[in-house]
C-alpha cells in the first residue's frame, strides 16, 4: 500500500498537507469535460443566485434596520396586483431556467451512457472488498484496470455479495454494481496516467479499503501489456470450453437432436418469447437463461432446459456470456 | 381510537367542544386519517406483490393455485357479512335500538372469530403441504412461488392481526352497550365501525390477488 | 359526488333495507369475481378481479362506512391515502417497466445464517 | 395558574395530557439525543482529521456514522420542530385549548421514548453498521450487528410520528378558533399541517419496508434479496419513497418557523402570504414524486432517471419562491436583530446554498459524478443542519420567553448564533469541494490529498460544537435568574402571544378572537416608535 500511496502522491504531484490543491481535479475521460462544463455553468448560476440573494438580504438588513431614517411608505395592506405579478415572475423564471438545465444535463447524460459499437468489454466482479476484473483476452486483474487511451471501454459489472459502486472521479463516472444482475458503464479515457478507483456504495467493514486504480496507457503499450500477461485462455475461449464441457452445445448446436434455439449472434438480437413478449437479448438475458431457463422461454421451443444455478459461478457465467458475445461482434455495443 | 378526549371536563368554557357534532367530526376525521395511513401500510405489501406478480408471473400462478379457494371464498363471505352486521349495528344505534346494537356487535365479533378459525385451518393445511417458505418448500423449483407465499403469509398475517384488534374492539363495544356504559355512545361506535370496514376492504383486495390468480385450465 | 352530506335515513327499516341490498350486491360481486377466475381471460383475469374488488370497496365505503354522509374533508383524507399509494406504484413502475432486464437468481454463499429457521439450503 | 405550576411531581409530568408539558418532555428527550448524535459526529470528524484510519477501527467508524445518522434523523430532526414547537404553539396559534387527541399525544411521546431507548440499546450493546439507509442485501444478510433491534426502534418511533401527524391534522381542521379561516393561519400552522400530511402518508411505507427487512433477516424470505427472486432496488424505491419526503418533514416546519420570525422582526407582514402557503403545499406534494433522484446510479432504468430528474427540478421552484418572499419581506421593514432573527437569516442563507446545490445534484450528468460523495453529505447537512437545526434554534429563542416566562441573555444568544453560522460554514463548505474532487462518503480512511479540506472541516466542527453548547449555558442561566418576560416581549401578532407567559394550563383565560389579518405588523409605526426611543421589547398586544 505504501507504494500505492507514493504513486498517488507522485501522480498528483502533491505532498501531504500541500495546500496547492486544484479545485477541480483534472478530468481524464471524454465525458469529464462535458460534466465539468455543466458543473461550472451550474456553479456560476447557483453562485450568482446565492450572491444576489445574500446581497439583497444584507442591503435590506442595513438599509431598513430599525433606527434608520428611511422611507418605508407605500406599503399595500393586502396583496396588490404588482405583488402578484412579481410572484408569478419569480415562479415562472426559475422554472424555465431549471427546465433549461434539465435539458442540458439530460443531453449530456444520454451522450455519456451511449456506448460506441467498438467498445472494449471488460468484465468486473465486485466482492467484499475487492474488484476482480478480466479483459477479453482473459488477462485478470485485481483492484487494477488497464485501459488504452482514446478507445471506448465498456465495463460489464456484477457483484457477488452486496451492492458496490464503481467510481472513478477522474472520469466523472460512477455506477452501482448490483448482485444478481449486470450493470454497465462505458467511458473513453483521454489522459495517460493512474487514477483512483473507489467503491462509492457503502459495502461493509472495509468499504474504505475497497480501492483500486485505473491505468490509462498508450494503445501500443496496452497491447503489449495485454500480451505480456499470464498466458490464460481468453475469456471467450474459456466460455467456449465451458459451452462444450457443460453440455450447452449438446442442444444449442444447429445439428443437435434436442430442439434448442441457436445462440450464435444472440446478444443484441430481438427475441420473441412464448408468452408474446419480446425483448432484446443482452448479458442479463443470457445470464437469466442459464440460471432460470423457464423464465423467458423463446417462442416455438419447449421449456426443457435445466437450470445451471449453483453449477456455474459468476466468473464462469461471465465467460459464457463473453463467448456468446464473441459470436456476434458485429452487433456488439448496443444499448 | 378511544383517545378523543379534549378537555371535556370543562365543557362549559369550550362551547366548540361541547357540540356532539363537532366531536363526531373530530373522531371521524381522525379515523379516516388513520385509515389513510393504513392504506399506505398495507400498500407497501401490495407494492411488493405487484413487483413479484409482474416479474414472476408463472411462479405466482403456480403458487396461487395452491391456496384454498373454497375456504378463501367462504372467509370473504364471512367478512362481508360481518361488515353488514356492524353497519346494521351502527344504524340500530342511531335509531336507539340498544338491544339490537349489542346483539349485532356480538355477531360481528363472532364472525371475526369464525374468520380467524377458518384462516387458521388454511394455515394448517398449508403447513402440512409444505407451503411455508423455508427449507423443504414444496414449490422450490418454481421461481417466484416462494415470494408469493412470503407475501401471502405476511399480508394475511397482518390482516389477521388487524382483525384481532377489531374483534376486541367490537367485543368491548358490545359489552359496553349492554351495560349502557357512557363511553360506548353511537358516534364513537360509528368511528370504531369504520375500522372494521377498513379491515374488510383490505380483504376484498387480498381475495382476488391471493386466491383467484389463475383458476382455469 | 353530492355537495351536501346526506342526513341519516329517518326510518330504521329503510336503513336496514339499504344495507341489506348492499350486502346482497357484495356477495353477488364476490361470486362473480370467483367465477371470472375460472374463465381464461388472459390479462382480463387480473383486471376483472381488481375491477370487482374496486366496486366492492366503493360499495363498502359509500354505504357501510357512510362516506356519502361524511364531510368533504373526510372524503379527501381517504382519497389522498389512495392517491399516494398509486403514486408509489406508478412512479416505481416507471423504473420497472423500462428497465433493461429484471434481476435474476444469484448464487453466492450467504454470509449470515438467518436468525430463525434454517433457510438457505434448498 | 401557569401550566408549569400545575403540579410539580414527576408523576404530574409523565401522565400529563397538556400539549405544552408534552412539548417540554419532547424537548428534554430531543436535546439528549441531539448531543448523543453530536458526540458520534465529533468522533467522526476527529477520525477524519488524518487520512489513515488511526483513531477508531473501521467497524467502529461504520457504527459511528450509522449511529449519527439514525439518531439525528429519527430521534432528533423528524420530531424536533413538529413535536416540540408544533406541540407547544400549534394549539396556541389557532386559539385552541389543546390538541384534538391529548391522550394520543402522550402515547406518541411514550412510543417515541420506547423506540428511542431501543435504538440506543442497540448502539450500546454493540452498534449497527448498515448506515441509516439500511440498504439491502447488506442489512439483511451481511451485517453482523444489531440490525433487528435498531429496526424495531425506528419502527416504533415511526408510529409515534404517525400519531403526532394525525393529531395535528385533526387539530388544525377542527379546533381553529371560530372565524379563523385557512388563509388567516400563520404559516407555521400551514407548514406543520403539510408536514403532518407527509408523516401520515409516508411513514407507514417506511414501517412496512422495515418490517420486510426484519422478516428477510429473520427468515431469509427474498423480497429484497436477489438470491431468492427479490430486488434490492425494490427496497430502495420503498425506502426513498419515505425518506425523500422525510427531508421535507425536517425542513418544512423550519420554513414555517422562519416565516414567523422574519415578519415579526422586520415589523412587516410577510410578503406573498398566499404564495407562501401554496409553496408549502407544493413542496409537500411534489416532494412525494422525486425519490428516484437518490437512485440515479443504482441501476434503475434511464427513463425513470429522466422522469425523476425533471420532477426534482420542479420541486425546487416552490423552495425558490419561499426564499424570494423572505427576502422581499425585509424590504421597507423596520428590522431588529434579536437572536431569533439572526438564526432565521442564517437559515435563509444556508438553506439557499443547500437548495441551490440540490439543483446541481438534480442534474443527471453531474449527479453521476457527485452522488455518494461528500458533495451530497454537505448538501443535506446544509439543508438539515444549516436549515432545520438553525431554524430550531431560532424557534427556541423566539418562543423561549413564552414557554418559560423568562428572558435570556440577548448578547450571548447573538454570539452563539454567529458562532454557529461561522462554524457550520467552516465545517461543511470544504466538503462540497471534497465531493467534487471525488472523496466518497462513509470512508474511514482516505487518500492523503484530501487531508487539507478535511482538517478545515474538522476544525470547523469544533467551532460548531461550541456554538451548540453555548445555549445550554445561557438558557440554564435564564431559567435560574432570567428577567420575567411579559406576555409579548417581541410585540408579535400571533394568538400565542395574547396569553400570559408561561400560558395557563387551559391556554387562554378568555377565548381569543380570530385576528382579522395574519401578520398585521406595521413597519412605519414601529419605526416612528423607535425614533422616539422606545425600548426594543415594547409590549404591544396589538401591533
Q: Which CATH number fits domain B22-211: 1.20.120.80, 3.40.50.300, 1.10.1740.10, 2.60.130.10?
A: 1.20.120.80
β-strands A278-280, A270-272: how paired? antiparallel
Residue of C nearest to D169 (CA): C77
> What is the CA angle B48-B49-B50, rounded to 5?
90
Chain B positions in Cβ-Cβ contact with residue C62 (cut-off 8 Å): none
Any chains having at least 3 CB pairs less than 8 A from chain A are B, C, D
Position C84 in a domain: yes
The pLDDT of residue A21 is 53
Residues B197 and B108: beta-carbon distance below 8 Å: no
List, in sequence order, every residue forming a beta bridge with A6; answer none if it has no partner. Answer: none
Whether residue D227 and residue C105 make contact (CB cut-off 8 A), yes or no, is yes
Query: Distance between CA D200 and CA A193 in Å, rounded?
Result: 53
Tell me, what DSSP letter sits at residue D384?
Answer: I
Whether residue A181 and residue C103 make contact (CB cut-off 8 A), yes or no, is yes
Tell me, what DSSP letter sits at residue A305?
Answer: P
Mutate to test the interface with C, among D152, D224, D304 (most CBs of C within 10 A): D304
- Longest alpha-carbon distance in chain C: 69
* pTM of structure: 0.87
The pLDDT of residue C5 is 46
Cell for D72?
Answer: 439525528
Q: Domain residue spans in chain B? A: 22-211
> What is the CA angle B169-B170-B171, rounded to 5?
90
A215: part of which helix (H) or strand (E)?
A: strand A212-217
The pLDDT of residue B185 is 79
> What is the CA angle D119-D125-D126, rounded to 5?
100
The pLDDT of residue C100 is 66
- Indicate the angle between helix axes D102-125 and D147-174, nearest 10 degrees: 160
Residue A38 has its nearest CB partner, among D138, D366, D371, at: D366
Any chains having at least 3 CB pairs less than 8 A from chain C are A, B, D
Question: Based on the domain organization, do C30 and C78 belong to the same domain?
Answer: no
Query: Distance between CA D180 and CA D203 in Å, rounded?
Result: 30
Residue whose C-alpha is closest to residue A6's, from A279, A265, A175, A213: A213
Chain B positions in Cβ-Cβ contact with residue D209 (cut-off 8 Å): 44
Position C112 in a domain: no
B171-198 confidence digits (pLDDT tens): 999 998 888 777 777 888 889 999 999 9
Query: Distance between CA A113 and CA A122 in Å, rounded?
Result: 16
Query: Distance between CA D495 and CA D515 in Å, rounded?
Result: 8
Question: Based on the domain organization, do C52 and C82 belong to the same domain?
Answer: no
Question: Based on the domain organization, do C49 and C93 belong to the same domain?
Answer: no
Chain-centroid distance, C-alpha B9: 34
Cell for A235?
Answer: 475469456
Please state, as a whole number, how many other Cβ atoms lie within 10 Å of the Cβ of residue D318. 23
Query: Distance between CA B196 and CA C2 in Å, rounded?
Result: 25
Position D55 in a domain: yes
Residue whose C-alpha is closest to residue B160's, from B100, B117, B208: B117
Q: For chain D, which residues lie within 8 Å of any Cβ of chain C, measuring from their own Cβ?
A: 141-144, 148, 169, 173, 197, 201-202, 205, 217-220, 225-234, 237-238, 241, 288-289, 291-292, 295, 299-304, 307-308
CA distance C75 to chain B (A): 8
β-strands A140-142, A130-135: how paired? antiparallel
Any chains having at least 3 CB pairs less than 8 A from chain D are A, B, C
Whether ipTM > 0.85 holds is yes
The pLDDT of residue B217 is 62
CA distance B142 to chain C (A): 12
> What is the CA angle D387-D391-D393, rounded to 5?
125
The pLDDT of residue B94 is 85
Residue D200 has its nearest CB partner, among B37, B42, B59, at: B37
Position D540 in a domain: no
Whether residue A275 and residue B57 make contact (CB cut-off 8 A), yes or no, is yes
Whether residue B30 and residue D175 make contact (CB cut-off 8 A), yes or no, is no
Chain-centroid distance, C-alpha D378: 16
A2 confidence band (pLDDT: 50, 70, 90): very low
Question: Based on the domain organization, do C36 and C59 belong to the same domain?
Answer: yes
Environment class of A135 (CB within 10 Å of its CB; exposed 0-12, middle 13-18, buried 19+):
buried
In order, the DSSP letters of D315-380 are HHHHHHHHHHHHHHHHTT--B---HHHHHHHHHHHHHHHHHHHHHHHHSHHHHHHHTTBHHHHHHH
Residues D228 and D169: beta-carbon distance below 8 Å: no
The CATH number of residue D444's host domain is: 1.20.210.10
A37-55 confidence digits (pLDDT tens): 999 999 999 999 999 999 9
- Of residues B141 and D296, the one with the higher pLDDT is D296
Chain D positions in Cβ-Cβ contact with residue C114 (cut-off 8 Å): 217-220
Q: What is the 3-state secondary structure (H, E, C) of A247-293?
A: CHHHHHCCCCCCCCCCCCCCCCCEEEECCCCEEECCHHHHHHHHHCC
B104 confidence band (pLDDT: 50, 70, 90): very high
Stretch among A16-20, C6-10, D98-102 having the lowest mean pLDDT:
A16-20
| In the predicted structure, residue A308 carries a pLDDT above the cut 70 | yes
* Averaged pLDDT, A306-324: 79
Question: Based on the domain organization, do C61 and C11 belong to the same domain?
Answer: yes
Stretch among A187-196, A245-254, D5-14, D26-35 having the lowest mean pLDDT:
A245-254
Residue A66 has its nearest CB partner, among D331, D433, D530, at: D530
Residues A155 and A173: beta-carbon distance below 8 Å: no
Low-confidence ranges of chain D (pLDDT < 50): 536-543
Rounded to the nearest integer, the mean pLDDT of chain B is 85
Residues D219 and C119: beta-carbon distance below 8 Å: yes
Question: Based on the domain organization, do C20 and C52 belong to the same domain?
Answer: yes
Residue whose C-alpha is closest to residue D131's, from D187, D64, D38: D64
Cell for A74?
Answer: 407605500
Tally of CA atoms within 13 A in the half-sphere of A335 that contains its CB: 27
**Domain range for D65:** 7-531
The pLDDT of residue B211 is 92
Number of domains in chain C: 2
| In the predicted structure, residue B1 carries a pLDDT above the cut 50 | no
Count A/C contacts: CB-CB distance under 8 Å: 38
Polymer length of chain D: 543
- Of residues A127 and B156, the one with the higher pLDDT is B156
CA distance C101 to chain A (A): 6
**Residue D112, SS3 per DSSP:** helix
Question: Based on the domain organization, do C60 and C75 belong to the same domain?
Answer: no
**Residue D473, SS3 per DSSP:** helix
D371-408 confidence digits (pLDDT tens): 999 999 999 999 999 999 999 999 999 999 999 999 99
Position D541 in a domain: no
Please state, as a whole number, how many other Cβ atoms lie within 10 Å of the Cβ of residue B100. 18
Question: Based on the domain organization, do C61 and C75 belong to the same domain?
Answer: no
**Domain range for C55:** 7-65
Q: D38 φ, ψ to 5°?
A: -65, -35
Question: Based on the domain organization, do C58 and C24 belong to the same domain?
Answer: yes
Whether residue A314 and residue C101 make contact (CB cut-off 8 A), yes or no, is no
Residue D272 has its nearest CB partner, among A73, A83, A94, at: A83
Question: Based on the domain organization, do C55 and C81 belong to the same domain?
Answer: no
Position C120 in a domain: no
Environment class of B34 (CB within 10 Å of its CB; exposed 0-12, middle 13-18, buried 19+):
buried
Number of domains in chain D: 1
Position C49 in a domain: yes
Environment class of A246 (CB within 10 Å of its CB; exposed 0-12, middle 13-18, buried 19+):
middle
Chain C positions in Cβ-Cβ contact with residue A274 (cut-off 8 Å): none
Label residue D534 left, alpha or beta by phi (over 0 means left) and psi (-120 to 50 means alpha): beta
CA distance B72 to chain C (A): 10
| Domains and their CATH numbers in chain A | 120-228 (2.60.40.420), 235-331 (1.10.760.10)
* Averaged pLDDT, A169-183: 91
Position D291 in a domain: yes
Query: Distance between CA B42 and CA A173 in Å, rounded?
Result: 38
Position D537 in a domain: no
Cell for A14?
Answer: 502533491
Amino acid at each position: 500500500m505504501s507504494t500505492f500511496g507514493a504513486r498517488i502522491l507522485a501522480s498528483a504531484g502533491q505532498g501531504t498537507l500541500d495546500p496547492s490543491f486544484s479545485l477541480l481535479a483534472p478530468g481524464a475521460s471524454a465525458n469529464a469535460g462535458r460534466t465539468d462544463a455543466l458543473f461550472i455553468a451550474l456553479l456560476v448560476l447557483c453562485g450568482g443566485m446565492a450572491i444576489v440573494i445574500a446581497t439583497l438580504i444584507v442591503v435590506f438588513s442595513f438599509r431598513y434596520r430599525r433606527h434608520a431614517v428611511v422611507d418605508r411608505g407605500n406599503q399595500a395592506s393586502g396583496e396588490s396586483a404588482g405583488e402578484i405579478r412579481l410572484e408569478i415572475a419569480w415562479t415562472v423564471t426559475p422554472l424555465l431556467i431549471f427546465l433549461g438545465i434539465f435539458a442540458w444535463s439530460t443531453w449530456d447524460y444520454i451522450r455519456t451512457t451511449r456506448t460506441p459499437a467498438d467498445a472494449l468489454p471488460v468484465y468486473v466482479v465486485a466482492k467484499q472488498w475487492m474488484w476482480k476484473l478480466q479483459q477479453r483476452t482473459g488477462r485478470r486483474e485485481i483492484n487494477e484496470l488497464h485501459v488504452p487511451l482514446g478507445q471506448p471501454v465498456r465495463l460489464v459489472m456484477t457483484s457477488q455479495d452486496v451492492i458496490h459502486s464503481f467510481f472513478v472521479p477522474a472520469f466523472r463516472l460512477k455506477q452501482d454494481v448490483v448482485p444478481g444482475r449486470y450493470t454497465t458503464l462505458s467511458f473513453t479515457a483521454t489522459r495517460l496516467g493512474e487514477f483512483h478507483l473507489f467503491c462509492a456504495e457503502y459495502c461493509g467493514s472495509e468499504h474504505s479499503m475497497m480501492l483500486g486504480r485505473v491505468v490509462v496507457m498508450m494503445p501500443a503499450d496496452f497491447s503489449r501489456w495485454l500480451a505480456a500477461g499470464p498466458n490464460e485462455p481468453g475469456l471467450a475461449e474459456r466460455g467456449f470450453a465451458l459451452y462444450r464441457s457443460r453440455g450447452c452445445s449438446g442442444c444449442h448446436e444447429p445439428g443437435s437432436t434436442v430442439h434448442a434455439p441457436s445462440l450464435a449472434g444472440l446478444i443484441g438480437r430481438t427475441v420473441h418469447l412464448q408468452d408474446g413478449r419480446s425483448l432484446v437479448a443482452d448479458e442479463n438475458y443470457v445470464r437469466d437463461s442459464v440460471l432460470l431457463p423457464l423464465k423467458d422461454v423463446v417462442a416455438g421451443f419447449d421449456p426443457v432446459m435445466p437450470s445451471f444455478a449453483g453449477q456455474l459461478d459468476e466468473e464462469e457465467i461471465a465467460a459464457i456470456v463473453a463467448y456468446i458475445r464473441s459470436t456476434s461482434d458485429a452487433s456488439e455495443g448496443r444499448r | 381510537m378511544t383517545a378523543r378526549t379534549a378537555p371535556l371536563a370543562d365543557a362549559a368554557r369550550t362551547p366548540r367542544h361541547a357540540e356532539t357534532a363537532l366531536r363526531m367530526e373530530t373522531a371521524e376525521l381522525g379515523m379516516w386519517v388513520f385509515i389513510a395511513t393504513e392504506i399506505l401500510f398495507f400498500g407497501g405489501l401490495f407494492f411488493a406483490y405487484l413487483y413479484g406478480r409482474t416479474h414472476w408471473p408463472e411462479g405466482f400462478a403456480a403458487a396461487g393455485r395452491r391456496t384454498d379457494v373454497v375456504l378463501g371464498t367462504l372467509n370473504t363471505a364471512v367478512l362481508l357479512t360481518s361488515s353488514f352486521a356492524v353497519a346494521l349495528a351502527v344504524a340500530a344505534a342511531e335509531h336507539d335500538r340498544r338491544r339490537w346494537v349489542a346483539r349485532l356487535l356480538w355477531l360481528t365479533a363472532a364472525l371475526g372469530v369464525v374468520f380467524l378459525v377458518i384462516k387458521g385451518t388454511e394455515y394448517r393445511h398449508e403447513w402440512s403441504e409444505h407451503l411455508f417458505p423455508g427449507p423443504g418448500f414444496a414449490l422450490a423449483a418454481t421461481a417466484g412461488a416462494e415470494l408469493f407465499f412470503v407475501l401471502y403469509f405476511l399480508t394475511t398475517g397482518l390482516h389477521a392481526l388487524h382483525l384481532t384488534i377489531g374483534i376486541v374492539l367490537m367485543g368491548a363495544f358490545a359489552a359496553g352497550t349492554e351495560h349502557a356504559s357512557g363511553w360506548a355512545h353511537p358516534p364513537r361506535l360509528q368511528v370504531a365501525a369504520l375500522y372494521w370496514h377498513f379491515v374488510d376492504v383490505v380483504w376484498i383486495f387480498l381475495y382476488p390477488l391471493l386466491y383467484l390468480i389463475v383458476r382455469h385450465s | 359526488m353530492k355537495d351536501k352530506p346526506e342526513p341519516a335515513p329517518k326510518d330504521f327499516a329503510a336503513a336496514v333495507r339499504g344495507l341489506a341490498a348492499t350486502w346482497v350486491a357484495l356477495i353477488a360481486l364476490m361470486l362473480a369475481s370467483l367465477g371470472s377466475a375460472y374463465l381464461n381471460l388472459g390479462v382480463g383475469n387480473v383486471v376483472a378481479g381488481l375491477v370487482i374488488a374496486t366496486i366492492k370497496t366503493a360499495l363498502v365505503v359509500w354505504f357501510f362506512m357512510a362516506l356519502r354522509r361524511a364531510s368533504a374533508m373526510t372524503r379527501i383524507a381517504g382519497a389522498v391515502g389512495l392517491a399516494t399509494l398509486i403514486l408509489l406504484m406508478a412512479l416505481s413502475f416507471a423504473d420497472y417497466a423500462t428497465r433493461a432486464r429484471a434481476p435474476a437468481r444469484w448464487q453466492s454463499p450467504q454470509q449470515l445464517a438467518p436468525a430463525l429457521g434454517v433457510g438457505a439450503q434448498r | 395558574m401557569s401550566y408549569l405550576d400545575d403540579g410539580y411531581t414527576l408523576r404530574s409530568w409523565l401522565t400529563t395530557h397538556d400539549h405544552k408539558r408534552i412539548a417540554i418532555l419532547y424537548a428534554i428527550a430531543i436535546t439528549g439525543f441531539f448531543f448523543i448524535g453530536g458526540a458520534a459526529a465529533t468522533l467522526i470528524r476527529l477520525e477524519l482529521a488524518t487520512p489513515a484510519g488511526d483513531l477508531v477501527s473501521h467497524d467502529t467508524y461504520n457504527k459511528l456514522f450509522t449511529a449519527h445518522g439514525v439518531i439525528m434523523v429519527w430521534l432528533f430532526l423528524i420530531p424536533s420542530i413538529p413535536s416540540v414547537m408544533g406541540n407547544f404553539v400549534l394549539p396556541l396559534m389557532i386559539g385552541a385549548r389543546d390538541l384534538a387527541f391529548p391522550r394520543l399525544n402522550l402515547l406518541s411521546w411514550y412510543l417515541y421514548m420506547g423506540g428511542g431507548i431501543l435504538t440506543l440499546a442497540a448502539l450500546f450493546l454493540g452498534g449497527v453498521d448498515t448506515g441509516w439507509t439500511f440498504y439491502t442485501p447488506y442489512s439483511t444478510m451481511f451485517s453482523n450487528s444489531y440490525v433487528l433491534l435498531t429496526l424495531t426502534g425506528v419502527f416504533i418511533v415511526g408510529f409515534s410520528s404517525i400519531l403526532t401527524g394525525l393529531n395535528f391534522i385533526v387539530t388544525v381542521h377542527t379546533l381553529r378558533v371560530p372565524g379563523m379561516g385557512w388563509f388567516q393561519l400563520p404559516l407555521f400552522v400551514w407548514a406543520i399541517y403539510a408536514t403532518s400530511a407527509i408523516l401520515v402518508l409516508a411513514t407507514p411505507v417506511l414501517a412496512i419496508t422495515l418490517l420486510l427487512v426484519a422478516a428477510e433477516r429473520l427468515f431469509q424470505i427474498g423480497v429484497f434479496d436477489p438470491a431468492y427472486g427479490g430486488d434490492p432496488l425494490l427496497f430502495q424505491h420503498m425506502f426513498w419513497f419515505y425518506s425523500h419526503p422525510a427531508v421535507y418533514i425536517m425542513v418544512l416546519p423550519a420554513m414555517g418557523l422562519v416565516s414567523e420570525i422574519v415578519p415579526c422582526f422586520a415589523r412587516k407582514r410577510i410578503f406573498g402570504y398566499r404564495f407562501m402557503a401554496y409553496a408549502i403545499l407544493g413542496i409537500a406534494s411534489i416532494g412525494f414524486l422525486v425519490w428516484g433522484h437518490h437512485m440515479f446510479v443504482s441501476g434503475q432504468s434511464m427513463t425513470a432517471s429522466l422522469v425523476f430528474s425533471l420532477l426534482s427540478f420542479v420541486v425546487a421552484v416552490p423552495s425558490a419562491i419561499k426564499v424570494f418572499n423572505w427576502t422581499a419581506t425585509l424590504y421597507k421593514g423596520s428590522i431588529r436583530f434579536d437572536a431569533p432573527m439572526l438564526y432565521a437569516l442564517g437559515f435563509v442563507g444556508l438553506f439557499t446554498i443547500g437548495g441551490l446545490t440540490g439543483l446541481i445534484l438534480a442534474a443527471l450528468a453531474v449527479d453521476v459524478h457527485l452522488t455518494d460523495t461528500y458533495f451530497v453529505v454537505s448538501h443535506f447537512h446544509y439543508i438539515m443542519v444549516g436549515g432545520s437545526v438553525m431554524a430550531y434554534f431560532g424557534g427556541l429563542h423566539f418562543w423561549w420567553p413564552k414557554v418559560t416566562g423568562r428572558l435570556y441573555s440577548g448578547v450571548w444568544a447573538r454570539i452563539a448564533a454567529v458562532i454557529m453560522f461561522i462554524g457550520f460554514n467552516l465545517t461543511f463548505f470544504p466538503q462540497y469541494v471534497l465531493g467534487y474532487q471525488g472523496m466518497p462518503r462513509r470512508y474511514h480512511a482516505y487518500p492523503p490529498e484530501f487531508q487539507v479540506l478535511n482538517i478545515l472541516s474538522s476544525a470547523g466542527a469544533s467551532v460548531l460544537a461550541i456554538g451548540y453548547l453555548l445555549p445550554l449555558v445561557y438558557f440554564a442561566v435564564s431559567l435560574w435568574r432570567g428577567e420575567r418576560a411579559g406576555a409579548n416581549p417581541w410585540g408579535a401578532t400571533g394568538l400565542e402571544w395574547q396569553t400570559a407567559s408561561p400560558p395557563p394550563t387551559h391556554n387562554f383565560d378568555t377565548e381569543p378572537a380570530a385576528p382579522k389579518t395574519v401578520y398585521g405588523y406595521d413597519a412605519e409605526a414601529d419605526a416612528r416608535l423607535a425614533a422616539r426611543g422606545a425600548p426594543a421589547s415594547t409590549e404591544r398586544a396589538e401591533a
